[in-house]
Structure 1
Amino acid sequence: MGNSLIRMSYAIAVLWYLASCSNIKYLPDGEHLYVKGEVEIETDTIPKQYIKPLSDNLENLLRPQPNTTILGMRPQLYLYNIAGEPQSDRGFRNWLKNKVGQAPVLLSDVNREYNENLLRNRLENLGFFQAQVTSDTTINKRKATVTYTAAPHIIYRIKSVTFDVDSSELGKAIKSTEPQSLLQVGRPYNLDNIIAERERIDYALKNKGYYYFNPDYLIVEVDSVSADHQVDLYVMVKTETPAKAKRPYYINNIFIYPNYTLTQGGYQRADPREAELYRGQYHIVDPEYTFRRFALANAMIFRRGELYTRGNHNRTIRQLVGMGSFRFVRNEFVDVDTGKANQLDAYYYLTPMPKRGLRVELLGKTAAVYNGSEINVNWQHRNAFKSAELLTFTVYGGFETQTGGNVNLNSSFYRYGIETSLSFPRMIAPYRWQPTKRFVPRTVFTAGYEFLSRRTAYSLNALRFSFGYQWRENLEKEHELKVLEVAYVQPWNISDSYQALLDTVPPLRHAIEPQFTFGPIYQYTRTNTTRTDLTHTYYFKGGVDLSANLYGLIRGANVREGRQYQIFNANFSQYIKTEADFRHYMKLGTNSTLASRAMAGFGYSYGNSTQLPYVKQFFSGGPNGIRAFRARTLGPGSYTPEFYGEDNFFADQTGDIKIELNTEYRAKLASILHWAAFIDAGNIWLQHANPEKPGAAFSRNFIKEMAVGAGLGLRFDLSFLVIRTDLATPLRIPYRPAGERWVFDEINFRDSDWRKRNLVFNLAIGYPF
């Protein structure tokens, strides 16, 4: 095996070298391939820890950027070269050359003088007013590197900040923002901070009614004191600022057009004289009564006679968009032309979405030797009762079958069902409750039925109902409270072969037990992953699920003492279940990320129950979990799966406790093609020891029962859809004897039997986390 690896490594190195050389041979005569632009900082006035970030910042400004490299290679340039000259602007060669490939970046494309001025200007904007930049070119085997040497010298710092404004109402408004100024004495001069300060003052003024003011009316004069490398800053209003920008404005009439249509010439405005005055505040132009008046009025933050503020402006737009019924939301503010000063008429033009919509989704999935498909038909009505309610009917069906290996009782299943939901864009409660006005809260009712058949084993009928609320606290925090969720599951048509198995493998009975749960569920989500400017972003989702806690206590349920009660011929479940999922994303470069996830779940059953109901239990493995193990084949704990015949067992392992850790390196190869390397670890456990499942209970030795797997994957990022493939293998198998669980020494990719037993292929839609 060692000689084979050496020969393979040698072959890869040769191919790498030939590909590298082939990029050079395509260059025009006399040209050189531009491979690198670097910035060296020569200074003894900047602390060492800041030199590299400054250098990286400057290098990002250099133009043009060299061709993209992967491990020293330039695959996109290579594809560009081997594609030749396409015969037309269509076809594979044109796509390969101009869509996937990348034209060579030549030394002749680099304007050193332009880049020197660019770097010098950037350094001056950072406060290095006496910066100097020079450059030099190095050529090696027709590959060119341009090195820019920057001497920043001493940075200038802020000596004083003066808000030099008059005593007018505008001047007082600007002066009142001074305590929140971004310009602080002692900090380095920075042009970006000055621009941000102008925008900060403008936003503050917008919230004080100054609708026509903008940042360009502010100027920050800089007076440098060269002797001690300091600057005095003076914040002033430009003398040419127009008069109306100096006055606060108030809201006059508010016109709402909830059934607007776009025409070729723009918005077709209805006659305001057709408007109906509602609540003495809003002129609603909707003669066809397509929307109820209170629904539109509830979305409006502005009131007649109020001071205009940008906050209320934005909140009103968010409320209207959040109703979910409008394709376009546009507004404008118009000066009142009746001789009244400082007043604005507000116009809201709302273009509804189509009231009814039908969407059909067809999905395919595969994991190891299991393949299947699913279809979803979704019908929506976006204004069911003329108050922007969303009524949804969903019909779905799918199947999964085993296409390899030994066929068992769990080899295939099919399911179908129907679900209906009704979502109101407001809180419906016996008391007035409005958690936020920044976003539209929703009240949601959901009901559904599902039939699942494991053809040779059993069938399940499931009914569910829920009622609750969803609301967003801000852009990063979201809440979901199901005041009541009811789930009822009854088995049906249990096969003789599965019934016979229950006598020898009693744990299988849990999957077909009648189940009844009822209680509240709360989930909290917090994330800043929408921030593209951050190196580190995160996602957290946690929640608690309760069932029959109060009812069980009232009834005095205690299954261990023989007091177990039923509802609708099913033992009701009494438990507390908590879950937490934390994800962290670290940008390593423009096209690479390190993604990590830590998740844990704990279920505590008591009173009427000894374990979580089957539908609420955790499972491990599968394309979104520990990918080296098929879904539901791992755990609980070190429990050894019951095998029925050679390499054949019932893959349906569940538990009350779950811990999982994942780390994945993601990087772009070319165009839509990405790749990933990952490692997963975790397992599930039972709350209580079960003599029928030795080793399944959670204990302080749980670390020794963690499974570990690793692998590689490809992702095809189509922007609107990500198709993911992963190939993984176990590194640690928890149900093997202690001391034999790590299996590094058994890895043998040349052995077909090993590959068959240990390589798990997963095909999925979207990223695993």
Structure 2
Amino acid sequence: MRNNLSKITLLFVIGTIIYSCSQVKRVPESKKLLTKNEIFVNDKLIKEDRVNNLVLQQPNTKFLNYTFGLLLYNAAKPNPDSSYQAWLNRKPNRVKRLNSFLSAKQVKRLGESFFVSGIHKFMKETGEAPVLIDERKAIKSRDRLSGFYYNDGYIRNKVTMQIDSVGKKKGKVVYKVTTGKPYYIDTIRKTIETPVIDSLYTLQESKTLIKKGDRYNFEKFNNERKRITQHLRNNGVYHFQESNVKYDAIYDDSLQKINVNLKIEDRYVKNGDSLIKRPFTIYKISRVNIFTNNTSKKERNQFNDSATYKNFNIYSAGKLKYKPKAITNAIFIEKGKLFSDNDRTLTSKSLSNLKVFNYPNIEYVEDPNDSTKTSLIANIYLMSKPKYIWSPSFDVTTSDIQQFGISGRMSFTWRNLFKRAEIFELSAKGNIGSSKDLANPNDVFFNISEYGLEGKLSFPRIVFPLNTRNIIKKEMLPTTNANIGLTSQRNIGLDKENLTGVFSYNWIPKPKHTLRFDLLSVQFIKNLNPENYFNVYSSSYNTLNNFAQIYNVNPDNIVNNNLTTQGAINFIQDVQNGITSLTPNDNEYKIIRSIGERRERLIENNLIVSSSLTFFRNTKANLLDNNFYSIRTKIESAGNVLSLLADTKNEPLSTNGNKTMFGIEYSQYIKGEVDFIKHWDFGKKNTLAMRAFAGLAVPYGNAQSIPFSRSYFSGGSNDNRGWQAYTLGPGRSGGINDFNEANFKLAYSLEYRFRVGGNFYSAFFADIGNIWNVFDNVTDKNYTFNGLSSFEDLAFGSGIGLRYDFNFFVLRLDLGYKAYDPGREVGDRWMKGINFSKTVLNFGINYPF
């Protein structure tokens, strides 16, 4: 044992030495590799990211305390092209031998190939070059630290910097900050030269961000400067800029006090070769000109058609292609109103929302006809997007079901359909594929297919018989969408035809908030091949087949010791009709009856007519913002309209005793969902992400269950990654069906994302959740939610992920494991799935949430 311990210790020491040497492999003798930065504030080591990120140079990224990115970079040859040439010339006959079966050009290209030089370039680009200590950058970092604490009120702070050696060609930089005492604002005065500016400022003086007694903070002063500028520019002061707001500060070092004087001087205007002061002026809009169909600045003063509508002047370089109201309804800059930056911003957003113009160009010029010099002419330049767009696409695909497939899509977009900025899109898609898993008696290579047709019509306004402008104002950028689509599948599952139609409204009640109201959503699903059920749901068939070996009494149901497809259906009926020896009290009877009920539900045609309201809020500021949250809530109600119509018609009831419409048993339910996502940014591209979801769909009236297309499932790459999609739940049933679904779902995920090196990222994740049946026709307690005791059925999956960031998308691989499996017996649920052989691979594009 002692001998083995000595060997292990020796190997560890050797490995540490090799790793340490490999880190400084590319570090010149006169330089030092930066291993860490230490920042001491008042003799206390600070690890706060917002302070550490002020340092310009950061050490190479570490993963599990190893600099894998640096090691990958160091492993690459610095000059692979030169190394290849040296290898060629190392033996005099090597080039001759290569040229005997390769051309000279091919020999040269061999050196440029991925395996010769490309792999080294990839390793260098993917890895991280060693971060060498740069004294000039360290000095700049020292000054940035001083500025940071100065801006936070520590006016007389002192910062020192020192570079220390921590090994051969390695070093660290130590910063020591002595903050001193913070300074507080004592008195606030103002000096505003233009009277009208003084009056406007006074109107909102109480909203100032700078208050007596507050500690000095530069960010507050900066934000107050922006607030004042925004207020004035939204009230007609066209020439006002942030630079016009100045502050004079007098420091009292004995009391650590600051006396502040707000100064807004008159503006400087060029008069010949000199600058003179003039008071600021409030401007009104005297004219609004709209130029459409412009393709260049040369055409701005060239127009062949014009129109005047509600004080708007519309010009076109060619024939005017838009109805005036369609354009003017999106413009908030109006004649007689004060100049306002808000109006310009809203106009830009609203015109862009029409999706028929490129981003608009809005210019203001002083009206030369106004002797008072207080009027502005607003010129809005619009360049139309192409009226017609044809977009074809073509893909070759493969999957577990479809070994080879060819898919194509062709869409045609028609902008400004009715000359009011409507957009119509017609698209067709098709897919043909080959599958070895499906019956193919004629031995046809392409034995599965899917095709569809979809039409979308979008209106940049609310289309409704009543006037809704007092409720949904045009500032909310409302749109109306009408969609209809038809898809058909052949030799895929039960084969389906799916007809959908949606009439919906979208609007933005306030920034970062979105509302969608589906006034009417219709979905009709027709199963074309219900006889194929037991070929698709093989687990159900296998269960029935096993029971049939014991309880079947009809020999016509069995062929070659196995149930036929029709025999499986007959066997279920025989059991339920009491022909077999099974009774309703037997567990086998309950299982067979459940399989029969599930089959009836999944092969039935669905007619779903619903309305829904969805609210969405997202605080994400931009693509780089990793400190935000989003919440989505949705409430949906289905079947109520059809229930009223069914009462007026005398259609026969279904075999289940439910009402029908057009001979189809329609669905009736109410459904609610909440989806919450939160991200915390820890700096250095480290992020903690969390997601919580809850959804419940309750059937009532004409339904005892939820349609399959509206039910919930658990597992998969964007859910509980310890299980594959549809394999978890319901409850503690163990996922025995081929596709497990239910009408109640809870899910929670936590994921810590961090950078490994270069464009490689990784993550540790934990997923908790499950699905249950509740308030429907399922009564088995293994499947249903039974109060607090059902929280023991929450499945726990965990694992590690590897991601590669291509900038425009992220390629993701997650390795999931079953840490707690509620499908196992009590006492045997924990850590039984933590085994490499039981890894669940999850591939995905972009992050799961």
Shared fold (TM-score, shorter chain, > 0.5): yes
Q: Indicate the RMSD between aligned Cα atoms, in angstroms.
A: 3.5
CA deviation after TM superposition for structure 1 residue 40, in Å: 0.8
SS at 2:727's partner residue? coil
Aligned counterpart in structure 2 of residue 209 of structure 1, from 233, 236, 240:
236
CA change 1:98–1:253 in 2 (3 A) is farther
Partner of 2:420: 387
Partner of 2:345: 314
Q: Which residue of 2 aligns with 1:247?
A: 281
**Does the C-alpha gap of structure 1 residues 116 and 748 become closer, same or farther in structure 2, counting only changes over 3 Å?**
closer
Q: Output the amino acid matched with 1:626.
A: N
Residue in structure 2 matched with residue 95 of structure 1 by the alignment: 121
How far did 1:419 drift?
Answer: 1.6
Per the alignment, residue 261 of structure 1 pairs with 295
Query: What's the counterpart of residue 733 of structure 2?
Result: 639
Residue 326 to residue 719, structure 1, CA distance change in 2 (3 Å):
farther
Q: Tell me if structure 1 keeps the 8 A contact 2:39–2:46.
A: no
Greater share of helix residues, 1 or 2? 2
CA–CA separation in structure 2 for the residues paired with 1:528 and 1:10:
54
1:352 is aligned with what amino acid? S
- Letter of the structure 2 residue corresponding to residue 306 of structure 1: K
**Equivalent position of 1:423 in the other structure:** 458
Equivalent position of 1:169 in the other structure: 196
How far does residue 8 in structure 1 lie from its aligned partner after superposition?
A: 11
With over 3 angstroms needed to count, the CA separation of the structure-2 counterparts of 1:347 and 1:14, relative to structure 1, is farther
Partner residue, 1:464: 500
- Listed one character per residue, the Cα deviations across residues 277-330 of structure 1 (whole Å, up to 9, x for unaligned) are 223323333532222221111111121121111111111111101111222311
Task: Pick the aligned partner of 1:443 from 457, 480, 486.
Answer: 480
Partners of 2:134 and 2:401 in 1: how far apart? 52
- SS of the counterpart of 1:123? helix
Equivalent position amino acid for 1:633 in 2: T
Residues in 1 aligned to 2:403 and 2:724: alpha-carbon distance in whole angstroms: 9
Unaligned runs of 5+ in 2: 83-111, 270-276, 441-446, 535-564, 573-591
Confirm or deny that 1:656 pairs with 2:743.
yes
Q: Does 1:585 align with 2:658?
A: no
The alignment partner of 2:792 has SS state of helix
Tell me how far apart the structure 2 counterparts of residues 568 and 486 of structure 1 sit (CA, whole Å). Answer: 14
| 1:287-686 → structure 2 map (5 Å cutoff) | 287-340=318-371, 341-357=373-389, 358-360=391-393, 362=395, 376-397=409-430, 415-434=450-469, 435-453=472-490, 455=492, 458-495=494-531, 498=534, 500=566, 501-502=568-569, 503=572, 504=592, 505-506=595-596, 507-530=598-621, 536-549=627-640, 551-552=642-643, 564-642=658-736, 651-686=738-773
User: Greater shift after overlay, 654-663 or 720-729?
Assistant: 720-729
State the partner residue of 2:146.
120
Please tell me the residue identity of whatever aligns with 1:226: D
Percent same amino acid among aligned pairs? 25
* Deviates further, 627-636 or 313-322: 627-636
Distance 2:396 2:15 in 1: 39
Are 1:234 and 2:280 counterparts? Answer: no
CA distance in 1, matches of 2:268, 2:285: 23
Alignment partner, residue 22 of structure 2: 22
Instruction: Within 5 Å, give how 1:722-737 maps onto structure 2.
Output: 722-737=810-825
Give the CA deviation at 1:741: 2.7
Quote the Cα distance in structure 1 between the aligned partners of 2:139 and 2:806: 39
Distance 1:303 1:148, change over 3 A: same
Q: Distance in 1 between matches of 2:663 and 2:7?
A: 68
The total of aligned residue pairs comes to 735
TM-score (normalizing by structure 2): 0.79
Give yes or no for the alignment of 1:768 onto 2:812: no
Contact map agreement 2:523 2:609 (CA 8 A) in 1? yes
Measured after TM superposition, the shift of residue 376 of structure 1 is 4.2
Gaps of 5+ in 1: 643-649, 750-754
Q: Secondary structure at the match of 1:107?
A: coil
Does the residue aligned with 1:458 lie in a helix, a strand or coil? Answer: coil
Q: Does the CA-based 8 Å contact 1:255-1:285 persist in structure 2?
A: no
- Report the Cα distance in structure 2 between the residues aligned to 1:195 and 1:7, rounded to whole angstroms: 63
Describe the shift of the 1:299–1:667 C-alpha distance in structure 2 as closer, same or farther (beyond 3 A).
Answer: same
Quote the Cα distance in structure 1 between the aligned partners of 2:764 and 2:818. Answer: 14
| Aligned mates of 2:381, 2:11 — CA distance in 1 | 66
Q: Distance in 2 between matches of 1:657 and 1:559?
A: 28
Q: Distance in 2 between matches of 1:12 and 1:559?
A: 78
Q: Structure 1 residues 531 and 676, CA, compared in 2 at 3 Å: closer, same or farther?
A: same
Q: In the alignment, what sits opposite 1:752?
A: none
Q: 1:155 to 1:636 in 2, by over 3 A?
A: same
Could you say if the C-alpha distance between residues 184 and 569 of structure 1 is closer, same or farther in structure 2, counting changes exceeding 3 Å? same
Query: Structure 1 residue 366: deviation in Å?
Result: 5.8
C-alpha contact (below 8 Å) 2:49/2:682 kept by paired residues: no
Which whole-Å CA distance do the structure 2 matches of 1:12 and 1:714 have between them? 27
Which shifted more, 354-363 or 615-624? 354-363
Alpha-carbon separation, structure 1, partners of 2:500 and 2:436:
32
Q: State the match for 2:108 in structure 1.
A: none
Cα–Cα, structure 1 residues 112 and 583, in superposed 2: closer, same or farther, change >3 Å? closer
- CA drift of 1:479 comes to 0.6
Opposite residue 521 of structure 2, the aligned amino acid is E
2:211 partner SS: coil
Tell me by how many angstroms 1:640 deviates.
4.5
User: What is residue 130 of structure 1 aligned with on the other side?
Assistant: 156
TM-score (norm 1): 0.87
Deviations 1:351-407 (A, max 9, x none): 222223315264857689999886544332232222221212233345899999xx9
Residue identity opposite 1:354 in structure 2: P
TM-superposed deviation, 1:166: 4.2
Amino acid at match of 1:580: V
Q: Is the 8 A contact 1:270 1:285 kept in 2?
A: no
Contact 1:86 1:93 in 2 (8 A): no
User: In structure 2, what is the equivalent of residue 62 of structure 1?
Assistant: 55
Q: CA deviation at 1:486?
A: 1.1
Aligned-residue offset at 1:469: 0.3
In structure 2, relative to structure 1, the CA distance for the partners of 1:641 and 1:58 (3 Å cut) is closer
Q: Structure 1 residues 63, 628: closer, same or farther in 2, change over 3 A?
A: closer
Conserved? CA contact 2:404–2:435, under 8 Å: yes
Conserved in 2, the CA contact under 8 Å of 1:328 and 1:352?
Answer: no
TM-superposition CA deviations, 1:462-496 (whole Å, max 9, x none): 21111120111223110110111111122212336
In 2, the alpha carbon distance for the partners of 1:762 and 1:366 equals 14
Q: Does 1:77 align with 2:70?
A: yes
AA at the equivalent of 1:194: F
Cα 1:191–1:339 change in 2 (3 A) is same
Deviation at 1:246, TM superposition (A): 0.4
Q: How does 1:692-731 map to 2 (within 5 A)?
A: 695-700=782-787, 701-731=789-819
Question: Does the 8 A contact of 1:709 with 1:728 survive in 2?
Answer: yes
